[in-house]
Every structure is written in C-alpha cells, then in structure tokens.
C-alpha cells in the first residue's frame, strides 16, 4: 500500500493519479488561506506586520520538515540500500533551501519593525542560518563528485551528521534566553495563539506544504527520468 | 607484539614525513602570524579593543590555519596506494584513521602550541587567559583533527570543489569555538566547560574513525 514511498515506478503511477486533483486542492487552499489572512484581525501591538507570521511560520516548519524527510530517506537509502532515498535527497534539497531562505527573509522583515534590527545573533536565528548553510553544502556536494555512488552516499552521510542541528533549532528557544519567542503551538498544551489567527495559520501551512509537495513531485519525477537515461 | 611494532613503524613513517615536510608546517604557522598582523592593521592598534577581542581572533585564526593542511591529510597516501598497503598488513581502516588522527594531532596541531604564547603577547592577553587558551587548544585541536579527518576523507574523489572541505570543518567546529572562547568571557564554570569539551572530543573520536573509514572504502571502490 505504501510502496509508492520507496518504489520509483509505483511513485510515478501514484503521483500521476493524484496530480490533477492535488493542483486543484492546492489552488483552493492557497486562495482560501490568503482570503483568511486578509480577513484576519490585526494585532493590538504589532498592527499590520503580524501578517508576516502567515508566511514566516509555515516556511520555517517546512524547512525543518524537509530536512526530517531527507534524514529519514538517508537512513532508508543507506541501511536498506534503496536508491529511491537518494533520489528524494537530491530532489528536495533545493525546496528546503528555498523555504529556509523564505523563513530568514520574512523573519528579517518582521524583525526590523518589531525588534528594531534586521538580524540579531540569537540562538534560533543562528541555528536556522546554519541549517541554510547545511542545505547549500548538500546542493554543492551534488556537483562535486563524478561517480554517482560516491555522490549519493556522501550526501546521505552528510545529511545524517547535519541532523544534529534539528533538535538544536527546535529547543533553542527553551534552552537559551532568546529574543525569538518560544513556540506558540505545541502538541502537549493548548495553543497560546487566538483561534482567529490560528485558523489562517493552519490553512496557510497546509497550502504551503501542498505547494512544496507539487514541486517535489515534479522534481522527483524528473530525477527518476534522469536515472533511467530518458533525459 | 607484532601489532605494537606495526603501530610504532606507522609513527616512525609519519615522523619521517613530518621532518621532510617541516617547511609546510612552518608556513602554516607563518600564515597564522601574518593573519594576526592583518587583523591588527585592519582594526587599529587600540590596546583595550585588542585585549577584548584577542581570544576570539586567535581561536578563529588557529581554526583557519589548521584547515590549510586539510588536503594533505589522506590524499598522498590515497593516491600512491599507501593506505591499501597498510591495510594489507593487517590493520583495519578504522585503526588507520585513528592513528592518522593521532599523528596529525601530534605532528601538525601540537607545534602550534609554541605560537600561542607569542600570539597572546601580541594581543596583551592576561596570563590566566593564555593558560586557558592553551588548555582549550589542546582539547579543541583533537576535535579539529577528527573533523579534518572526516572532511578530508569525504573529499578524496572531489576534484572540482576544493573549498567545500574547509567549509565542512568550519561548520562543525562552531560548538568548539563557542565553548573554548566562552571559558573566559563570562563567569561560567571552568570545570564544566572543560568537561563539555572533553565530552565533545570523545564523541568525535568515536564517530570519526567509522565515518572516515566508510568514506575511504567508498573512495577506494570508485577510484
């Protein structure tokens, strides 16, 4: 049933069946989310700039989620010798890079009016910047080696070593005194954000992840074609 | 007995290579001093300013100059087949990596200890900070040797992108820098930070032989 997650042919077939409906759902979610963001109330302190949150938070989550997926597929590729893991690693690294850049830029634009500075050397910001460096190194490693086996396995081992950074990003706001606020939405406690702001945030998160999924499907299919020497 | 003899012969070979290539080490020490001069020229000779930022500058320059020897770590032995020869004499790749790290630590990193007191004179560092710097450098350079081993073995077959090895060393040396410089900055506990550094070095001494040996085997298979 879940063979499409590790088998390229099944993945191709599965993605072909869902692709059209996925595009329709994504555009609906994006339009609906933007409408909700437009109608959402202004913050009594931050005013209009609070709407940066609806881009900043989903892109930060997706940057982390992309890296988690890459870590899982690196383990799958290295331990079970399934090459689809390496295909995914190569295909979705640029997507994570884009989301990280989006997160950093929107956070910077949000920080200027709120904190009075574009950038502070605070633990959360620095660890996300290191995540960006790791993503860029992964992309560079794709062009560094001639042999494909060396390239794939080197990247997979590097992804595993770099995953030390993930818990540091997640818990940096709890471990150190940071200017960045702690998480507003967590699984264990009720969210400290009002429901009128939570709804557009969640819809925007779904829309962002669907956009990322569409790009990922296209990139993975192109990568499979390259491996089969069609491209 | 035979095994100990092999290890002693390995170190004998390394020390011979060290004496043959001693100008290389001296030029990286020269690089270290010259970059200190460049920093002082760029910042101006304000004594108070230099004293406050001196420790951070010395540490980051030590890091940069130790990445200079990165390409040499495995490449010559890999290209002329010495790695395979040592392996054929009954030493596993993991042990070769471990001995390589030790020899790099002894022959490349420890000679830098001579330059640290001189560098701290240039920045007018107090004697307690110099003592802390030497202590953290002895532990931190072992971590750096492990990192250099990982990144050098990763880039054995990399013929195009030469600077990515140094980038990887710099990336993973961030915690070393944070703890080594933080030992002086605030009223943090001296012994806890030393324990943390020793812990990090033990972690990397555990990780790096396995990962470097995996990279070397991968590179030998695709040579």
State how far the Cα of B178 lies from the Cα of B176, in Å rounded to an integer: 6
pLDDT band with cut points at 50, 70 and 90 for residue A188: low
Phi-psi region of A214 (alpha: psi -120 to 50; beta: other; left: phi over 0): alpha
Q: Do A149 and B222 touch (CB under 8 A)?
A: yes
Q: Residues A80, A63: contact at Cβ < 8 Å?
A: no
Residues of B (73-102) whose Cβ lies below 8 Å from A = none
* Chain B residue whose CA is closest to A145: B158
State how far the Cα of A95 lies from the Cα of A116, in Å rounded to an integer: 30
A150 touches chain B (CB under 8 A): yes
* Residue B121: count of CB within 10 angstroms of its CB: 10
Residues of B (133-162) whose Cβ lies below 8 Å from A = 150, 154-155, 157-161
Closest CB from A144, A147, A161 relative to B222: A147
* Residue B30: count of CB within 10 angstroms of its CB: 13
Q: Which of A7-11, A136-140, B71-75, B206-210 has the lowest mean pLDDT?
A: B71-75
Task: State mean pLDDT over B166-187.
Answer: 83
Give me the helices (H) in B89-163, please: 93-104, 112-122, 127-154
A181 Cα to chain B: minimum distance (Å):
23
A144 Cα to chain B: minimum distance (Å):
6
Strand partners, A47: A43
What pLDDT was estimated at residue B185?
67
Task: State mean pLDDT over B18-28.
Answer: 89
Question: Which of A130, A166, A142 lies closest to A91 in space, CA to CA?
Answer: A142
Q: Give the rounded percent of residues in chain B with a pLDDT score beyond 70.
A: 98
Picking from B78, B171, B210, B211 by the largest number of A CB atoms within 10 A of its own CB, the best residue to mutate is B171
Q: How far is residue B207 CA from its own chain's centroid?
A: 16
Place of tokens 């596993």: B92
Tens-place pLDDT, residues A151-163: 888 899 889 888 8
Picking from A135, A157, A177 by the largest number of B CB atoms within 10 A of its own CB, the best residue to mutate is A157
pTM assigned to the model: 0.88
State how far the Cα of B85 lies from the Cα of B2, in Å rounded to an integer: 16
Largest CA distance in chain B: 59
What pLDDT was estimated at residue B186?
63
Q: Which of A37-41, A44-48, B177-181 has the lowest mean pLDDT?
A: A44-48
> Is the confidence at residue B187, as pLDDT, over 70?
no
Give me the helices (H) in chain A, please: 8-39, 53-79, 84-115, 123-141, 148-162, 165-175, 195-227
What pLDDT was estimated at residue A231?
64
Q: Do B164 and A140 touch (CB under 8 A)?
A: yes
State how far the Cα of B157 lies from the Cα of A150, in Å rounded to an integer: 8
Tokens of A6: 């590790």
Three-state secondary structure call for residue A43: strand
Q: What are the extents of the domains in chain B?
A: 2-221
Q: Do B211 and A157 touch (CB under 8 A)?
A: yes
Q: How far is residue B122 CA from its own chain's centroid?
A: 23
Contacts of B211 in chain A (CB under 8 A): 157, 161
Contacts of B168 in chain A (CB under 8 A): 137, 158
Question: Which of B11, B132, B149 lies closest to B67 in space, CA to CA?
Answer: B149
State how far the Cα of A82 lies from the Cα of A14, in Å rounded to an integer: 18
pLDDT band with cut points at 50, 70 and 90 for residue A103: very high
Closest CB from A133, A137, A150 relative to B157: A150
Q: What is the ipTM of this complex?
A: 0.83
Tens-place pLDDT, residues A201-225: 899 999 999 999 999 999 999 999 9
Task: State mean pLDDT over B20-33.
Answer: 90
State how far the Cα of B87 lies from the Cα of B99, in Å rounded to an integer: 12
Task: State mean pLDDT over B149-172.
Answer: 87
Q: Residues B194, B135: contact at Cβ < 8 Å?
A: yes
Q: What 8-state DSSP symbol labels residue B222? A: T
pLDDT band with cut points at 50, 70 and 90 for residue A68: very high
Q: Do A150 and B222 touch (CB under 8 A)?
A: yes
Q: What 8-state DSSP symbol labels residue A47? A: B
Q: Residues B168, B158: contact at Cβ < 8 Å?
A: no
């Amino acid at each position: 049933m879940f063979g499409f997650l590790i088998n390229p042919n099944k993945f191709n077939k599965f993605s072909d069946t869902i692709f059209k409906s996925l595009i329709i759902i994504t555009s609906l979610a994006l339009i609906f989310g933007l409408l909700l963001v437009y109608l959402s109330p202004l913050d009594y302190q931050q005013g209009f700039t609070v709407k940066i949150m609806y881009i900043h938070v989903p892109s930060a989550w997706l940057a982390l989620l992309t890296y988690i997926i890459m870590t899982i597929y690196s383990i799958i590729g290295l331990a079970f010798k399934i090459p689809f893991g390496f295909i995914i690693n190569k295909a979705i690294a640029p997507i994570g890079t884009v989301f990280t850049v989006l997160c950093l830029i929107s956070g910077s634009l949000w920080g200027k009016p709120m904190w009075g500075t574009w950038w502070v050397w605070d633990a959360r910001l620095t660890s996300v910047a290191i995540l960006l460096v790791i993503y860029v190194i992964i992309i560079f490693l794709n062009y560094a080696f001639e042999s494909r086996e060396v390239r794939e396995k080197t990247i997979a081992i590097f992804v595993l070593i770099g995953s030390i950074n993930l818990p540091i990003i997640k818990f940096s706001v709890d471990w150190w005194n940071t200017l960045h606020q702690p998480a507003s939405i967590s699984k264990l406690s009720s969210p400290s954000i009002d429901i009128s702001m939570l709804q557009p945030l969640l819809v925007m998160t779904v829309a962002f992840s669907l956009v990322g999924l569409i790009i990922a499907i296209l990139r993975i299919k192109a990568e499979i074609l390259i491996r089969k020497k069609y491209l | 007995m035979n095994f100990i003899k092999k290890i002693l012969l390995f170190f004998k070979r390394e020390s011979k290579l060290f004496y043959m290539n001693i100008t290389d080490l001296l030029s990286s020490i020269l690089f270290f001093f010259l970059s200190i001069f460049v920093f002082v020229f760029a910042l101006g000779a304000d004594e108070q300013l230099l004293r406050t930022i001196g420790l951070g500058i010395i540490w980051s320059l030590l890091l940069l100059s130790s990445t200079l020897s990165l390409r040499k770590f495995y490449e010559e032995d890999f290209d002329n087949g010495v790695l395979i020869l040592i392996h054929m004499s009954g030493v596993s790749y993991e042990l070769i990596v471990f001995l390589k790290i030790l020899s790099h630590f002894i022959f490349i990193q420890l000679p830098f200890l001579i330059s640290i007191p001189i560098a701290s004179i240039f920045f007018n560092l107090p004697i307690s900070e110099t003592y802390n710097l030497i202590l953290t450098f002895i532990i931190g350079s072992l971590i750096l040797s492990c990192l250099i081993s990982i990144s050098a073995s990763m880039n054995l077959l990399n013929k195009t992108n030469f600077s990515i090895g140094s980038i990887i060393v710099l990336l993973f040396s961030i915690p070393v820098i944070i703890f080594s410089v933080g030992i002086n900055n605030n009223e943090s506990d001296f012994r806890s930070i030393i324990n943390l550094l020793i812990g990090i070095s033990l972690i990397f001494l555990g990780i790096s032989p396995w990962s470097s040996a995996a990279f070397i085997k991968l590179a030998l298979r695709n040579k």
